[in-house]
Amino acid sequence: MMDKPNQMDPVEAENVEIVIIEDDLNDAELILQVFRKLNLTGQCIFLKDGAEGLDYLLTQTRYVNPASRSTPRVVFLDLKLPSIDGIEVLRRMKADERIKRIPVVVWTSSTAEQDLKTAYDLGVNSYVTKPTPFDELTNIVKELIWYWLRVNKLPTR
Amino acid sequence: MTGQNSTVDIILVEDDPNDAALITRVFKKHNLTNKIVLLKDGAEALEYLFATGRYAHNPSHMSPKVVLLDLKLPKVDGIEVLKRLKADQRTKNIPVVVLTSSSEDRDIKTAYDLGVNSYVTKPIKFDDFAQVVSQLRMYWTLINKPYEPS
């Protein structure tokens, strides 16, 4: 029996560095497998729609709530999401003084020119399309994690 | 460095010749077809990207995969270059990565406030620097998908 990726409780997570907003459980499970291999499961949280994602970022992160231990270094954001879609989440994040500096990587199957243009216009940090073969996906997720956790630098506060 | 800008993949804005040589070598080592343009100060970078002055003949719509931007630059500094690129409809979609020796919080914050896509500090040790540049190359030429207007 596989863990449900979205069962991780935000309060239990140790120090959340990676926030993943993804409604597709299969995709979420694949990503979670990579995190397990890298021993990073305590540092990531899955949120399953745009409303949940925004709510988390605007209440549970250190940028907003100093008592929280969650200091995301990156948000992976799917575009097609229930309730509030990914583009709207991105728009609200980049318009909010408290959380606009958190890097957002759109992580999507869409290669539509309009989606790319809108995402960059709204200030997305990076746009990555999901590859189809699993092996390739694993490698790309590893590169994503490595880049945003180890290479990219954020302000200390 | 004339014409042919439509095929430029990486724009490197760097005044230090040693750093520029290392970065160019790492990018070329893995893929000889990566086309890199080196611009040595902020004024030249702006002229190049906005197709003015010395580069008035440049095509106005170019979409490099990434601009690697140093902060301490002669004439116009990197923060000012970033500000102008991100404030202009024609260039705001181009991914800009600040690559600098500064790890000052003020610089990092300002860069993010202006809309930088990523901020990377240059490690002091040569091998570490080469490693970071290799990661940068991998990420911004192979993983990130830039917006390329059709």
CATH of domain B5-143: 3.40.50.2300
- A137 in B contact zone (CB under 8 Å): no
Is the confidence at residue B3, as pLDDT, over 60?
no
Q: pLDDT tens for residues B23-72? A: 999 988 877 677 899 999 999 999 999 999 999 988 765 789 999 999 99
CA-based nearest residue in chain A for residue B106 = A155
CATH says A5-148 is which class?
Answer: alpha beta
**Residue B130 touches chain A, beta carbons under 8 Å:** no
Q: What is the pLDDT along chain A (157 residues), one digit of tens a residue?
A: 344 444 444 444 568 899 999 999 888 888 888 888 888 888 899 999 999 999 999 999 999 998 998 899 999 999 999 999 999 999 999 999 999 999 999 999 999 999 999 999 999 999 999 887 777 888 899 999 999 999 999 998 6
Which residues neighbour B121 within 8 Å (Cβ) at sequence distance 6 or greater? A153, B100, B101, B102, B103
The confidence score (pLDDT) of residue A42 equals 83
CB contact under 8 A, B136 and A151: yes
Name the minimum distance, in Å, from the CA of B113 to any CA of chain A. Answer: 7
- Closest by Cβ to A153, choosing from B92, B119, B138: B119
d(CA A101, CA A95) in angstroms, rounded, equals 10
pLDDT in tens, B111-141: 999 999 999 999 999 999 999 999 999 999 9
Please check whether residue B136 touches A, CB under 8 A: yes
Residue B51: partners with Cβ closer than 8 Å, 6 or more residues away = B57, B58, B59, B60
Cβ atoms of residues B98 and B119 within 8 Å = yes
Tell me how crowded residue B139 is: count the other CB atoms within 10 A of its CB: 24
Task: Tell me the pLDDT band of B102, cut-offs 50, 70 and 90.
Answer: very high
* Cβ distance of B143 and A144 shorter than 8 Å: yes
pLDDT band at B8 (very low <50, low <70, confident <90, very high): confident
Chain A residues whose beta carbon lies within 8 Å of the beta carbon of residue B150: 113
- What are the residue boundaries of the structural domains of chain B, listed by start? 5-143
- A101–B109: do the CB atoms touch at under 8 Å? yes
Q: Where are the domains of chain A?
A: 5-148
Cα B79 to Cα B130: distance, rounded to the nearest angstrom: 24
- Is residue A20 within 8 A of residue A44, CB to CB? The reply is yes
Q: List CB contacts of A129: < 8 A, sequence separation 6 or more.
A: A108, A109, A110, A111, B145
A147 touches chain B (CB under 8 A): yes
Q: How far apart are the first and last CA of chain B?
A: 25
Query: Minimal Cα distance from A120: which residue of B?
Result: B93
Chain B neighbors of A113, CB-CB under 8 A? 147, 149-150
The predicted pLDDT at position A14 comes to 65
Distance from the B14 Cα atom to the nearest Cα atom in chain A, whole angstroms: 19
- Of residues A123, A144, A155, nearest to B105 (C-beta): A155
More confident residue, A8 or B75: B75
Contact A151 B103 (CB under 8 A): no
pTM (predicted TM-score): 0.90
Q: What's the confidence (pLDDT) of residue A1?
A: 39
- Confidence at residue A38, expressed as pLDDT on a 0 to 100 scale: 87
Nearest by CB to residue B143, choosing from A128, A156, A157, is: A128
CA distance A132 to chain B (A): 14
ipTM: 0.90
Q: Do A147 and B135 touch (CB under 8 A)?
A: yes
Tell me, what amino acid is at B123? P
Helix axes A134-146, A25-37, angle to 10 degrees: 60
pLDDT digits (tens, 9 = 90+) for A33-57: 888 888 888 889 999 999 999 999 9
Half-sphere exposure of residue B119: CA atoms within 13 angstroms, side-chain side: 29
